[in-house]
Amino acid sequence: MEESPPNEHKPADSQGAQAADATAQKQEEDKQVIELLRTPGLSIKYLDEPTKDRIRRFIQRTHIEKGVSLSDVSKMIGNKTSGYASWLTRQLGIHPRPFEEARLKAIKEKRRIYERRPFDGTKEDKAYLLGLRHGDISVTKPWPNAAEAIRVSTSTTHPAMAELFTNLFSPYGHISMHPRYKKDTQSYEWNLNAVLDGSFKFLDEEREAARKWIAESKTTMLEYLAGVLDAEGSITMTGYRDGTGGTILMVCYYNTDLDLLLYILKILQNLGYNPVGPYLDKPKGHKSSKYGIPHLKDYWHIQISRFAECQALLIELPIKHPEKTQRAQLALSLEYKEAWVTTREKVYRLRESIIKARNQFVQEAKTTYKSTHPQTQE
């Protein structure tokens, strides 16, 4: 029986050891790069070239070779927004994988946990979402040349708005929710966003074209009005300053976009209501009472102020915002000329519950943010 030549397997063993060492070295380098990118206030622009090359190698291995999405790269870094890795690739001159190629590869390998589903709602659903979008929702492309997807996002201090956003968009894609710190006001809030299928492009439809079909039927007009009210409106119940007299009821729309308010005014008139305004609520440069931040634009409002008309409108509007649904229910329970002294306690109780929920929501944002940003200065 022939004996194997001595040391026959040693070259292979040696190669395996070298490969293992190289892998361990890359893993350690990637770990160091991730820690570097987590540095608060880090400026990529002023890093030296060897350090930039280390970051380039990290992105090359992670995003290009392993196929990890840029959104997931941002999550690996931990304390950055979902678009941070995309910004980073541009700063370093790296061309990310084509969006469609990455999408199909992820589906084939079953790496995408949250698949985007196409919009399947009615024309009325579209009208509501457009109203919400025109009032408060931001729409952008998640990646350059991403023809097959759009990102919707909003920032809020109200848990009811977060609940509304989640209810509307979670059937179609994954909702990401991150705490945010605003330096100018030294306050905290939550940012919510979702990357949706390209069938949601109607949210970025040219406004004049959208307004034309919205105004074609009563149901789409009411849905649109409800969307804008849920985004940037109020149902106000108050009394006269001296506490005497009946309860004042108003449905108000606020915005810096005067053209939007004029369109809402026209829709309300077409539906048979008698809105008043627009009124200049706060002029450009006016400082907010809470934070002292000057308004960059004039802030306008229009309103329905007749008691019976307010109740008639609230009956018709398909409001979905949980807080405003509660306010509408209370407003509809009131009697015309009902004394404010008998209504005040119910209104204040609801207002206090909303404020309590909001304060708790903000505190959660602050706690969560500080747990990942320990060097935040207030």
Tokens at residue 59, please?
Answer: 């992105």
DSSP of 247-301, one letter per residue? -EEEEEEEES-HHHHHHHHHHHHHTT---EEEEEEE-TTPBPTTT-PBPSS-EEE
pLDDT tens digit sequence for 301-343:
999 999 999 999 999 999 999 999 999 999 999 999 889 988 9
Radius of gyration of the chain measured on its C-alpha atoms:
27
Largest CA distance in the chain: 113
Query: Stretch 194-217: mean pLDDT, rounded?
Result: 92
Mean pLDDT across the chain: 83
Task: Give pLDDT, residue 228.
Answer: 96
pLDDT of 245 above 80: yes
Tokens at residue 107, please?
Answer: 């589906």
Task: Give pLDDT, residue 107.
Answer: 46
Q: Which of 169, 162, 208, 158 is nearest to 355 (CA)?
A: 158
309: enclosing H helix or E strand: helix 307-316
Model confidence band, residue 77 (pLDDT cutoffs 50, 70, 90): confident
Q: Classify burial at 228, counting beta carbons within 10 Å of its beta carbon; exposed 0-12, middle 13-18, buried 19 or more.
A: buried
- Say which range, 56-70, 126-140, 179-193, has the weakest mean pLDDT: 56-70
Q: Are 279 and 253 in contact (CB under 8 A)?
A: no
pTM of the predicted model as reported, rounded to 2 decimal places = 0.70
Higher per-residue pLDDT: 89 or 106: 89
Query: Stretch 67-75: mean pLDDT, rounded?
Result: 71
Upstream peptide bond of 278 is cis (omega within 30 degrees of 0) = yes
Higher per-residue pLDDT: 109 or 60: 60
Model confidence band, residue 80 (pLDDT cutoffs 50, 70, 90): very low
DSSP structural state of residue 173: S
Query: Stretch 148-166: mean pLDDT, rounded?
Result: 92
Task: Give pLDDT, residue 345.
Answer: 93
The type of residue at 337 is K
Model confidence band, residue 84 (pLDDT cutoffs 50, 70, 90): low
Share of the chain above pLDDT 90, in %: 48
Task: Give pLDDT, residue 281.
Answer: 85
pLDDT tens digit sequence for 352-374:
999 999 999 999 999 998 888 77
189: enclosing H helix or E strand: strand 187-197
Q: Are 118 and 201 in contact (CB under 8 A)?
A: no
- Could you tell me the domains of the chain? 25-108 (no CATH), 123-204 (3.10.28.10), 207-363 (3.10.28.10)
| Number of Cβ within a 10 Å radius of residue 130 | 25
- Rounded to whole angstroms, how far apart are CA atoms 247 and 250? 10
pLDDT tens digit sequence for 283-299:
888 777 666 677 778 88
pLDDT of 171 above 60: yes
Euclidean distance between the first and the last CA atom of the chain, given in angstroms as a whole number: 80
Contacts of 206 by beta carbon, 8 Å cutoff, 6+ apart? none
pLDDT of 99 above 60: no
